[in-house]
Amino acid sequence: KRTAVLISGRGSNMLSLIEAAKAPAYPAEIVLVVSNRPDAGGIARAQSFGIPAKVLDHKTYGRDREAFERELDAMLVAEGIELVVLAGFMRLMTPWFVERWNGRMINIHPALLPSFKGLHTHERALEAGVRLHGATVHFVSPGMDEGAIIAQGAVPVLSGDTPEALGARVLTVEHKIYPQALALVASGQVRLEDGRAVCRAAAE
Ligand code: GRF
């Protein structure tokens, strides 16, 4: 499946997907990276792997979210994109865009959903005193961090953890589960049906 990765920052998850997709049998091919921030470190990293990385600066569109998304959508369609992967993409999508890519767009969130939706998840996990934390890959739905769950990975919270130390531990699990989850979706083994992620036998 022709796949685009959307980023806003350093792009370490993007890199883990690019690495995984090098395997000949991997069912997704990363053919495009789009950043909504011109200064995202991930842009140069994608290019160093020979993957075209484009900037679509949301600031150019002011408050008109849909104008930005229409342009993004046109870019994806022009490249024949079949799957959209959000990897540290820090923009909420409007219901129009989410509906258009329903079942074909996934995101990774650095917490075990439905706990700790939104930002600053590692700080909040430490404040709450949970003993397990982690990351979740989910289909994107109109509610923030609310879509059907595809995969999760857990890590222990250790005494003396700082948000940075905990975040680094979670990141290693993100790099493991995101390529696995993308493979499940790209191969058709997991689909979105009636708002839930449903497993099936591998597509023929
Ligand atoms: C990751 O922690 C991801 O879960 C969150 O934003 C961070 C992006 O990191 N949505 P990177 O750009 O993939 O390194």
Where are the domains positioned within the chain? Answer: 1-101, 109-135+152-204
- Could you give the 3-state DSSP secondary structure of residue 151? strand
Ligand 1 atom at minimum distance from 10 CA: 12
* Ligand 1, CB within 6 Å, residue ranges: 7, 9-14, 87-88, 108-110, 135, 171, 174
- ipTM of the complex in this document: 0.98
Percentage of the chain exceeding pLDDT 70: 98
Model confidence pLDDT, tens digit, residues 51-86: 999 999 999 998 889 999 999 999 999 999 999 999
State mean pLDDT over 147-164. 98
- Domain topology for 109-135+152-204: Rossmann fold (3.40.50)
Atom 14 in ligand 1: residue holding the nearest Cα: 12
Candidate from 19-23, 34-38, 81-85, 89-93 with smallest mean pLDDT: 89-93
Cα–Cα distance between 62 and 55 in angstroms, integer?
Answer: 16
Residue 202 has pLDDT above 60, yes or no: no
Nearest to 44 by CA among 23, 71, 73, 14: 14
With pLDDT > 90 as the criterion, what percentage of the chain qualifies?
A: 93
Six token digits for residue 179:
């390529």
Three-state secondary-structure class, residue 88: coil
pLDDT tens column, 162-191: 999 999 999 999 999 999 999 999 999 999
- Which residue minimizes the CA distance to atom 5 of ligand 1? 88
Q: Do domains 1-101 and 109-135+152-204 have the same CATH topology?
A: yes
Burial string for 114-127 (b: 16+ CB within 10 Å, else e) reads eebeeeebbebbbe
Tell whether the model's pLDDT for residue 201 goes beyond 90: no
- Give dist(CA 55, CA 36) in Å, integer: 6
The two three-digit tokens of residue 140, written as one number: 């994107």
Pair 173, 179: CB distance under 8 Å: no
Q: Which atom of ligand 1 lies nearest, measured to the CA of 90?
A: 10
For a substitution probing ligand 1, which of 5, 6, 12 has the most ligand atoms within 8 Å of its CB?
12
Catalytic residue at 109?
yes
Superfamily of domain 1-101: Formyl transferase, N-terminal domain (3.40.50.170)
Report DSSP state, residue 119: S
Q: With 60 as the cut, is the pLDDT of residue 203 above it?
A: no
List strand residue ranges (DSSP E) for the chain, in order: 2-7, 29-35, 53-55, 83-86, 105-109, 132-139, 149-156, 190-193, 196-199
Mean pLDDT of 12-29: 98
Alpha-carbon gap, residue 38 to 57, rounded angstroms: 6
Reply yes or no: is the peptide bond before residue 95 cis, omega within 30 of 0: no
